[in-house]
Amino acid sequence: MPSQIRPVPEGVVNWLAFQDIRAAVYVSNTFGEMTGRKTVALHDKNVFGDQNDYCIVSFGLGFTAFTHYVERLFNSSLFKIEWEPSPKHSDIFTDTFTINGKTPPIPDGDDIAFVARILPPGRTEQDDPRVWFICAGRSASGTAAAGYFLANRWSEINALYKKFKKDLNKDSVVIALRHREYQGSSKNEFAYEYDETVRILKQQEAPVINWGRPSS
């Protein structure tokens, strides 16, 4: 990290990361409905063996080891984790991200997150269709919103592959999202924890996305 200031995850108000858990529940329920199979929740320190053997859905940005692992796979060319003062709260030093070398614009009253669909390195078209996903927010509520987007609006990810003529079996993508800013207050600390209206962030009517393939 470029600063000696201790970073803190923005938007986290409890020791139990219920917003990350909320995102995981959305995705887990969707998997169950689609496949009839159960999902298993594992801390990344407990994942043994070749990670290519798993279909992984990871939650969190700079405080999640798997997100850093994927960033390195692409030499930070797909997305990059940054550490800097929060644009929302000047007294917080925290994590954020860049896509195509720039921090996505944060619309007034909103915040930003991303969902990424990753093709594991070394995977071939003959392999089982195992892919990885990352749901990450600049704040905790953004991670929950990204999980909601993946679980309920995943077809929009497929639509982007078709629109940009990309290969589902070869190309990875990161998609910036916009969601309502967490609205905590002394009167109603949990006004809402996430945003069901989360949607793809657009700049000049174009989605803020980036495509890539692992460097190794």
pLDDT digits (tens, 9 = 90+) for 154-209: 999 999 999 999 999 899 999 999 998 765 544 444 445 667 889 999 999 999 99
Poorest-pLDDT segment among 53-57, 93-97, 207-211: 53-57
Tokens of 192: 């809402």
Looking at residue 29, its pLDDT comes to: 85
Encode pLDDT of 120-154 as tens digits: 887 666 666 689 999 999 998 899 899 999 999 99
Better-scored residue on pLDDT, 146 or 214: 146
What pTM was estimated for this model as a whole?
0.81
Alpha carbon dihedral 82, 71, 171, 56, in 10-degree steps, equals -120
pLDDT 10s digits, 102-125: 999 999 989 999 999 999 887 666
Q: What is the residue-wise DSSP string for 29-41?
A: HHHHHHHS-----
Please name the residue that has the structure tokens 């407990």: 46
pLDDT of amino acid 191:
46
What does 169-214 look like in DSSP terms, one character per residue?
TT-EEEEEEEEEPP---SS-TTS-SS-TT-EE-EETTEE-EEEE--
> Which residue carries 């080891």 as its tokens?
65
Q: Is the pLDDT assigned to residue 87 strictly greater than 80?
A: yes
Strands 56-59 and 80-85: unpaired
Q: What is the pLDDT of residue 187?
A: 45
Question: DSSP letter at 92?
Answer: -
Beta strands in the chain, from DSSP E residues, in sequence order: 56-59, 80-85, 93-98, 110-118, 132-137, 172-180, 199-200, 202-203, 206-207, 209-212
pLDDT at 177: 98
User: Cα(196)–Cα(151) distance, rounded to whole angstroms?
Assistant: 11
Q: Is 130 exposed, middle or buried (0-12, 13-18, 19+ CB in 10 A)?
A: middle
Report the alpha-carbon distance of residue 37 to residue 174 in Å, rounded.
27
| pLDDT value, residue 24 | 83
Q: Is 96 exposed, middle or buried (0-12, 13-18, 19+ CB in 10 A)?
A: buried
